Amino acid sequence: MRKEERQALVLQIRQQLMDGYSLGVMTDEEVQDAIEGLMERRAQGEYLSIDERLNIADQVFGSIRGFDILDVIMNDESITEVMVNGPDEIFVEQAGRVHRLEETFEDEKKLEDVIQRIVGLAGREVNQANPIVDTRLPDGSRVNVVLPPISLKGPIVTIRKFSRDPMTVEKLLQYQSITPEVAHFLEIVVKAKYNIFISGGTGSGKTTFLNAISNFIPHDERVITIEDSAELQIEGVDNLVSLETRNANASGSGAVTIRDLIKSSLRMRPEGIKIIQGKLEHNKKRFPIPGAFLQHVFGDLIPLICCKAVKII
């Protein structure tokens, strides 16, 4: 089935679903059953492979209850990054290579609706007054959104997917990213509560590496994470507190910065290990890091952009 025929079929089934059912009172399972029933009737006399039927059903469901075409893309485990340059251009990174997909959004309004669903799930806000936002999907994938008029090609969405299986030191050893001697040294310094700065350029693997060495944190420690957008996948720690920054609303109020979270964390039993995930800069005008934090809190794992790390040190 050609792309145009598939898209037309998706639109027809969605319209039939919206016209013939009370979607507002239906559960997700009931909506999926209704889609399958409509697919059966619509596909009579026309051959559709199992993969095509599943793909169409996923697109119809995604357009009503999910993230439209993004649902299908995000379910592909081989895709590590998704780049949406307006409604007509979708690029993905797959096996280390970036290529363009045939799939597109129905129109710009549909893409904007999907963006509002994504942003709303994390309690964030994006609009013309606040056109840039960093957020996350329920699975922890990192999302960046830029809206017009800042973007000249329409709404821009970039999604950095994270593996469902968190990185471990054992995997780093298997990939030969580190040596056994380095792994042993990291285990010693983490358990000894040394301050550790993890720095590197964008996409270099700071968060992935941090997830791996966080496995060395003793399970009876209290861990407080402070992040721009929650991405860490820390396992095996029961006493875990996750804090996330928040942008200002349309009226310019309600912002919660990393500095605010650090100040609050000092009252949350600060002798435990803390993990700060974000771009910090020890600058009196932009980010005067509290002296109490530097003097009394030990065992910090801080992934930073490399130039920022030097300024903090």
Summarised one tens digit per residue, pLDDT across range 108-150 is 998 998 999 898 888 788 888 889 988 888 887 889 999 999 9
Q: What is the DSSP string of 248-301?
A: --TTS---B-HHHHHHHHTTS-TTSEEEEES----BTTTB---HHHHHH---EE
All structural domains of the chain with their residue ranges: 1-65, 68-163, 169-312
Summarised one tens digit per residue, pLDDT across range 35-91 is 888 877 776 666 777 788 888 888 788 777 778 888 888 888 899 999 999 999 999
What local confidence, expressed as pLDDT, does residue 199 receive?
79
pTM of the model: 0.68
- Is residue 161 within 8 A of residue 73, CB to CB? The reply is no
The CATH code of the domain at 68-163 is: 3.30.450.370
Summarised one tens digit per residue, pLDDT across range 24-38 is 777 878 888 888 888
Confidence of residue 181 (pLDDT cuts 50, 70, 90): very high
What local confidence, expressed as pLDDT, does residue 37 receive?
82
Mean pLDDT of all residues belonging to the chain:
79
Fold for the domain defined by 169-312: Rossmann fold (3.40.50)
